[in-house]
Amino acid sequence: MTETTKEAVETLVAPDALAARLFEATLGAMDLLSVYLGDRLGYYRALAADGPATSAELAARTGTHERYAREWLEQQAVSGILACDNPQADSGERCFRLPAGYEAVLVDPDSLTAMAPVAQVFVGCVKPLPAILDAFRTGAGVPYAEYGADLHEGQAGTTRPQFRHLLAQEWLPALPDVHARLQVDPPARVADVGMGLGWSSIAIAQAYPNVRVDGFDLDEASVQAARANAAAAGVADRVAFRVRDAGDPGLAGRYDLAVAVECVHDMPNPVAVLAAMRRLVGEGGAVLVVDEKVAERFVAPGDDVERYMYGFSILHCLPVGMTEQPSAATGTVMRAETLRRYAAEAGFRMVEILPIEHDFFRFYRLAA
Ligand SMILES: C[S@@+](CC[C@H](N)C(=O)[O-])C[C@H]1O[C@@H](n2cnc3c(N)ncnc32)[C@H](O)[C@@H]1O
């Protein structure tokens, strides 16, 4: 055994501790899946809107079955997610409530600490597990569409609060020339690449009332949902979404800013997409890539962010990135060095990492 291997082994826990850790992880997975049920069935929203409830009351408010509602309420209270003030009462008489402040985590879609979308995206990730197993064996990919609505909605749910509270308030002002351009005439144009359900485009249009945004995404279901979201937000006159491969060399237009949030690492051909973004903004425009804030290099064991990103990578990002071959096969863990290489291959001469504080995202400004 080499010195390096010995060191690595010593940083790992004993077998008993690993068993204990995986037991805890099982409880954690059950927490997440129970949060998924509570969110999808409207249980948390009903408790937040109409106050504490017995199982019969919650079932009536949500149109669900009393026996299932009771089991879920008891599971939530036993797990410390809901409170029960009369646990000694007969089961049908027990009353359950959402503890003060928990709405921010379980109910409010605009909260920066919302975790229900994380539960939803987790469920979405495992939906095509048989196809993922097959992909590991054959080297094929798993199409984004096969992950279904939970993945798409959960993903959008995790980023939407950030777009709402941070995109125009912190992220774009970190590019002062762009922030200024977006506020003046003639109206600036923004290309939003891989925009999913469109919340980044909508947030930009809402923050900068003259700006026109074009969103390009390959996933048809996402584009349809994004159009409905823009209409509901009252910005459909300035925000257009199209089903397009963002790497299509035929993509035309002249933009002041091209953005790509949490999507470059998913793309089979990230260089083509970055090259298209470079073309779309021309000489004077700006390109902003927001992607995962992973470590500078592979370190094992890694920290929680690294574990989180590798978890999504094996279940989702690598399989979707393998749907076209040849593929860059990036996976969620796109290191800064990798993005720099893709940017150079796409014709950019400079990549600047912007000084924006964020636990999960790194912000790259690319210049030709
Ligand atoms: C993880 S989602 C991110 C969605 C959104 N930007 C957000 O932050 O919530 C990745 C998105 O990239 C899109 N995508 C992947 N490859 C693409 C390509 N070549 N052209 C356009 N969109 C692409 C997917 O369809 C998906 O909507």
Answer yes or no: is pLDDT of 304 > 70: yes
Ligand 1 pocket member 195 (CB < 6 A): yes
Question: Whose alpha carbon is nearest atom 9 of ligand 1?
Answer: 156
Q: Is 245 in the pocket of ligand 1 (CB under 6 A)?
A: yes
Question: What average pLDDT score do residues 300-315 get?
Answer: 97
191 lines ligand 1 (CB under 6 A): no
Can you give the CATH number for the domain in which 98 is found? 1.10.10.10
Q: Which of the four pLDDT bands, split at 50, 70 and 90, describes residue 1?
A: very low
C-alpha to C-alpha distance for 29 and 331, rounded to whole angstroms: 23
| Predicted local confidence at residue 65, as pLDDT | 98
247 lines ligand 1 (CB under 6 A): yes
65 and 202 both lie in a single domain: no
How far apart are alpha carbons 132 and 319 in whole angstroms? Answer: 7
Query: Does 180 lie in the same domain as 34?
Result: no
Residue 114 included in any domain: no
Domain tally, the chain: 2
Do 208 and 266 lie in one domain? The reply is: yes
Between the CA of 194 and the centroid of ligand 1 the distance, in Å, is 3
Select from 175, 195, 183, 213 the least CA-distant residue to 367: 175
For residue 216 and ligand 1, the question of a CB distance below 6 A is answered with yes
The answer to whether residues 44 and 171 belong to one domain is no
Same domain? 171 vs 264: yes
Q: Give yes or no: residues 146 and 101 share one domain.
A: no
Distance in angstroms between the alpha carbons of the first and the last residue of the chain: 48
Report the atom number in ligand 1 closest to the C-alpha of 320: 15
88 and 229 housed in the same domain: no
Residue 176 is part of a domain; what is its CATH number?
3.40.50.150
Domain of 34 in residue numbering reads as 3-107
Extract the tokens encoding 288.
């902003």
Residue 11, pLDDT > 90, answer no
Residues 334, 275 share a domain: yes
* Alpha carbon of residue 331 to chain centroid: 14
Do the domain assignments include residue 115? no
CA distance 32 to 347: 43
Residue 347: both structure tokens together:
């014709």
The CB of 267 under 6 Å from ligand 1? The reply is: yes
Structural Rg of the chain based on CA atoms: 23
Q: Ligand 1 pocket check: which of 162, 213, 216, 217 to mutate, most ligand atoms within 8 Å of Cβ?
A: 217
Q: pLDDT (tens digit, 9 = 90+) per residue, 172-183?
A: 999 999 999 999
Residue 210: other Cβ atoms inside 10 A: 13
CB 159 less than 6 A from any atom of ligand 1: yes
- CA 39, CA 104: separation in Å to the nearest integer? 13
- Do 103 and 126 lie in a common domain? no
Question: Average pLDDT of 354-365?
Answer: 98
Q: Are residues 56 and 132 in the same domain?
A: no
- Mean pLDDT of the region 346-362: 97
Mutation to probe ligand 1, out of 218, 224, 360 (largest number of atoms < 8 A from CB): 218
Question: In this structure, are 217 and 309 located in the same domain?
Answer: yes
Domain limit, last residue, from 107, 132, 155:
107
pLDDT of 8: 52
Domain C-terminal end among 55, 84, 107 = 107
pLDDT-based confidence at residue 253 (cuts at 50, 70, 90): confident
Q: What is the pLDDT of residues 158-203, one digit of tens each?
A: 999 999 999 999 999 999 999 999 999 999 999 999 999 999 999 9
Q: Is the peptide bond before 326 cis (omega within 30 degrees of 0)?
A: yes
Burial of 333 (0-12, 13-18, 19+ CB in 10 A): buried
Q: With helix as H, strand as E and coil as C, how does 223-237 read? A: HHHHHHHHHHCCCCC
Residue 107 has pLDDT above 50, yes or no: yes
Q: Pairing relation of β-strands 350-353 and 361-367?
A: antiparallel
Helical axes 43-50 vs 55-62, angle rounded to 10°: 110
Locate the ligand 1 atom nearest the alpha carbon of residue 317 and give its number: 1
Write phi, then psi, for 11 (nearest 5 degrees).
-85, -10
